Amino acid sequence: MTDVDLLRTRADLTRLEPLRAAAAPLVLVPTMGALHAGHLALVRRARELGDPVVSIFVNPTQFAAGEDFAAYPRDLERDLALLEPLGVAAVFAPAVDEMYARDGGVMVQPGPAAQGLCGGRRPGHFAGVLTIVLKLLHLIRPEIAIFGRKDAQQCLVIAEMVRDLDVPVRLLDLPTVREPDGLAMSSRNAYLSPAGRRRARCLSDALAAARTALEAGERAPARLAAAMAAALAAADSVEYAEVRRVPDLAVPARAEGRLLLAVAARIEPARLIDNLVVQVDAGGVRETSLLDDREATA
Ligand code: AMP
């Protein structure tokens, strides 16, 4: 057991009241658990900004039938032990019934940023994400919520909801934490065999190839996409390799301004994604944030 205050029910959330009265802001880090160094980087930033509350909930409404909801790794004790040294104020880990009392309830319909990429490949996914995120924001009422740039489209779809539905929260997107070979940390990397794990670096290699091409002056989105697709030949199948404009995710005529380089591919049973956000202008190519908050790149 750990000393982290574990909140399991809505009623338990009253234990957040003393934190709400404190001067430091409540900072929410939503996760699905199976925590890794990427999640922990978000929590550390939350600790710098205020009192972190981490939610751990494998959200059934964002998984389609046939996806990995049942197989998704779950280990609450291990997650709590990882969070304990980080000064987490509380962990909210509700049961599915606690969050969804009935089937077929109201869902949040995503805006235009959900078109294409993961939104195109996973129908209903972002409605599930937005619904759970809005519920968590209402229940926990943080002043700040932190998300990972690794799930770039998710960040932009959430930012669109927060803006369009006037949700009173400040959003931050933080950089992707990677394994030494470049693979983005993900709870789903656990699905890979050692051989699959070696091949999985092709996603970050694809982003690096597009970045190298941009640095060499390539500005044609189709040729950048082709460079990414070539690197993804090592995957079992490719879902997408695209260049999009940030923040509206429109397909740009030329690869200039703030861009998202986005890839998704399957390796063994794992569906993996990776993203890189770059600013491309006369000064060259540099990595940047998705959201405009000045803190975002810290
Ligand atoms: P998940 O548990 O996969 O739903 O992720 C919870 C949060 O952690 C999301 O905001 C993710 O974007 C973020 N995240 C996941 N992987 C990484 C990573 N490798 N680096 C930074 N943030 C991440």
Q: Considering only CA atoms, which of 42, 72, 37, 40 is closest in space to residue 57? A: 72
Residue 184, judged by CB atoms within 10 A of its CB (0-12, 13-18, 19+), counts as buried
Pocket test for ligand 1, best of 79, 150, 157, 260 (most atoms within 8 A of CB): 150
Ligand 1, residue 186: give the atom nearest the CA: 16
Which residue's CA is minimally distant from atom 11 of ligand 1?
A: 148
Strands 284-287, 270-281: pairing is antiparallel
Domain-by-domain residue ranges, the chain? Answer: 6-174, 187-287
Query: Is the pTM for the entire model greater than 0.75?
Result: yes
CA of 217 to the centre of ligand 1 (A): 31
Q: CB under 6 Å to ligand 1: residues? A: 31-32, 38-39, 41-42, 147-148, 150-151, 174, 176-177, 184-187
Pocket test for ligand 1, best of 151, 153, 191, 290 (most atoms within 8 A of CB): 151
Averaged pLDDT, 131-140: 98
pLDDT at position 1, please? 54
Q: pLDDT tens for residues 213-263?
A: 999 999 999 999 999 999 999 999 999 999 999 999 999 999 999 999 999
> Kindly report the CA angle at 94 between 186 and 61, in degrees rounded to 5?
60
pLDDT > 70 fraction of the chain, expressed in percent and rounded = 97
Q: pLDDT tens for residues 150-194?
A: 999 999 999 999 999 999 999 999 999 999 999 999 999 999 999
pLDDT at position 220, please? 98
pLDDT tier for residue 3 given thresholds of 50, 70 and 90: confident
Choices 3.50.30.40, 3.30.1300.10, 3.30.70.360, 3.20.20.70: CATH for 187-287: 3.30.1300.10
CA of 122 to the centre of ligand 1 (A): 18
CATH 3.40.50.620 for domain 6-174: yes
How close are the terminal C-alpha atoms of the chain, in Å? 33
Torsion of CA 63, 9, 46, 69, to 10 degrees: -20
Domains 6-174 and 187-287 share a fold: no
For residues 145 and 169, the answer to whether their CB atoms sit within 8 Å is yes
Higher pLDDT, 224 or 3: 224
Helix or strand holding residue 204 (H, E): helix 202-215
